[in-house]
Amino acid sequence: MIDGRGRLAPSWKAHIGDYLERDDMQALADFLRTRKGAGVQVFPPAAEILAAFDATPFEDVRVVILGQDPYPGAGQAHGLCFSVRPGVSVPRSLLNVYKEIQRDLGIRPPDHGCLLPWARRGVLLLNSVLTVEAGCAGSHQRKGWEGFTDHVVDVLNREREGLVFMLWGAYAQAKGKVIDGSRHRVLRATHPSPLSAHRGFLGCGHFSAANRYLVSRGGTAQDWSLPPCPETAIA
């Protein structure tokens, strides 16, 4: 099984569980076991590979943010895109996300980079590739994860309605080509990386745009604030 215990949140298992039984996913599981057996550090820890699904049940998803792959530094990745554990320095891309939220909504940035509160409020923080080797960004690309997460996006697109998809950068935008813009709100901008944030991410207004859309459909605005996040928030 992919996470070492076959654990997938029940609400998601009903919609995507069969995909994990495919031959290519079993090959991915074999690859992960082989790499770990060779003494290679793989992040995040096995029990957190599917953490995005644990934190945000299928029926609770309101917003989807697509990332690329986990942070490759020790202690950083915990299964949510753009997020790091409490006590870990906030990555520069996430600092730019905080800057845009402050500019857009007036919400002051927190002193940590743990986005678990967002996930628990309905923001699916989904990386395209769910594992990485220590110190080697992109090392598990084209091993099978992309097909799985493409399937997740496709299922959300087909089986849900009125979601907000935030696609930052060319990679996320390519992954989001299947999304039906007549059923969902699709927001596109450059990636918040320091290399590109000034070319369209900063000033994009995605957070207020998401809230306007959610309210226009009779829902409530998304709470983008982040309270203090103690170590015990990651369990």
What would the two tokens of residue 62 be?
């309101």
**Residue 150 among the catalytic residues:** no
Going by their DSSP bridges, the two strands 132-133 and 185-189 should be labelled as: unpaired
> Which entry of 3, 54, 69, 104 is annotated as an active-site residue?
69
- C-alpha 190/C-alpha 196 separation (Å) is 6
What would the two tokens of residue 95 be?
């600092």
Name the H helices within the chain.
10-16, 23-37, 51-55, 92-105, 116-120, 145-159, 170-175, 206-216
Per-residue buried b or exposed e for 7-40, using 16+ beta carbons within 10 Å of the residue's own CB: bbbeebeebbeebbeeeebeebbeebeebeeeee
What would the two tokens of residue 64 be?
């989807």
CA 224 to chain centre: 15
What would the two tokens of residue 154 be?
């496709």
Which active-site residues does the annotation give?
A: 69
